[in-house]
Amino acid sequence: MIPMAILQDYTGENCTANNFLAVILGNRTALTGGSGKVVNSGPNDYIFIYYADHGSAGMVAMPTGDDLYAKDLIEVLKKKHEAKSYKSMVFYLEACESGSMFDGLLTEDMNIYAVTASTPAESSYAMYCPGHYPSPEDDFETCLGDLFSISWIEDSEKHDLQKETLQQQHGVVRRRTLVDYLDFSSHVMQYGNKELSKEPIFTYIGTNPDNDNFTMKAEEFSSNPSAEIAHWSRLTRGAVSQRDAQLHYLWHRFNRSADGSSEKIDAQKQLQNEILSRQQVDQNIHQIIAQVFGEENVSKMIESIRPAGQPLVDDWDCLKMLVRIYGEICGSLSIYGKKYTRAMANMCNAGINKKQMTLASNQACLK
């Protein structure tokens, strides 16, 4: 049965990448704060992980502390597999560029089936946003969900999960999340052992007895029914790029404030600061790349995408180093600024070193 209450074992300052990985491994000694609960699983256990936060190429954000890098996540999953601590695992990941956390990294022999909200090079999208359809109640000023997340959760809430398979749900969710002829859409991706997708969802998250014996119509699982696409296009016309969710919130707050009021003046100031901050990050990254690789290679460094099946970067420690150096000199990358981690990965693949990054960051950011 799907639980109706959510127990929060690690919140606030205790919700960190280190604790998340320790929980997966079942390593209580590595925990800092929190309830102390871990995934104490064995060789006959099925594990389901759902992770939702902001993301960028090669990493996903945590509420507190350092981001979680793909390399570190995969290494922990490998340790979990080598310890024979699960029979099979399903991992749903909601984040921008979430495919980069598994692409070229998660192997079939680990017996993990991963589903991501987007490819390694796409944004994911927020839903139920103020001023968009469908819109939340007026009391809410922020987006209340993510398109991928609400798709699989709402699908799970209404169906008999003893009968619906992971693959069938993937078809429903992919169809709802991908609306090709609209500006906002992402491709839901599958990685790892796709044979596991034949198993019923019930195996991993249980089911709601109220939905037992629910029978889905065949067209709900069809590959590309035009009527279904048109239906979802109406429901998703209010999606907002996750990377622009903060900008959307500030614009909505400014737009709904009374002219001349102190609230509108404050909202305008915050909106202008957000826009200026974005412009500054754009300028910083442009200048850093130009100084190291030349003005003619800036676009290539920012836009280059590796072929499917190839990891984002060859040297993950280099990527961590560039993100750290930028943060120390130019300021930590914002949610928007993290769109440039792919550029940093490309810089690593092109052979940049610590001295070059430090010098270029100083010249770009300390003027």
Q: How many residues does the chain have?
A: 367
Query: At 127, phi and psi to the nearest 5?
Result: -135, 170
Closest alpha carbon to 361 in 301, 300, 287: 287
Q: Which residue among 15, 96, 129, 318 is the active-site one?
A: 96
The reply to whether 54 belongs to the active site is yes
Q: Dihedral of CA 266/267/270/273: which sign?
A: negative
- Integer Cα distance of 306 and 194 in angstroms: 22
Distances from the Cα of 336 to the Cαs of 54, 225, 246, in angstroms? 10, 35, 9
**350 Cβ contact list (under 8 Å, min separation 6):** 293, 301
Structure tokens at 223: 């590959």
Structure tokens at 227: 């009527």
The reply to whether 365 belongs to the active site is no
- Integer Cα distance of 194 and 114 in angstroms: 8
Do the beta carbons of residue 281 and residue 288 sit within 8 Å?
no
Q: Dihedral of CA 216/219/223/226: which sign?
A: negative
Closest alpha carbon to 312 in 342, 350, 285: 342
Closest alpha carbon to 24 in 70, 74, 71, 96: 74
Q: Which residue among 54, 132, 248, 286 is the active-site one?
A: 54
Strand partners, 200: 165
- Integer Cα distance of 40 and 11 in angstroms: 20
**361 Cβ contact list (under 8 Å, min separation 6):** 284, 288, 325, 326, 329, 330
Angle at 150 between CA 186 and CA 205, to 5 degrees: 110
Q: Which residues are catalytic?
A: 54, 96
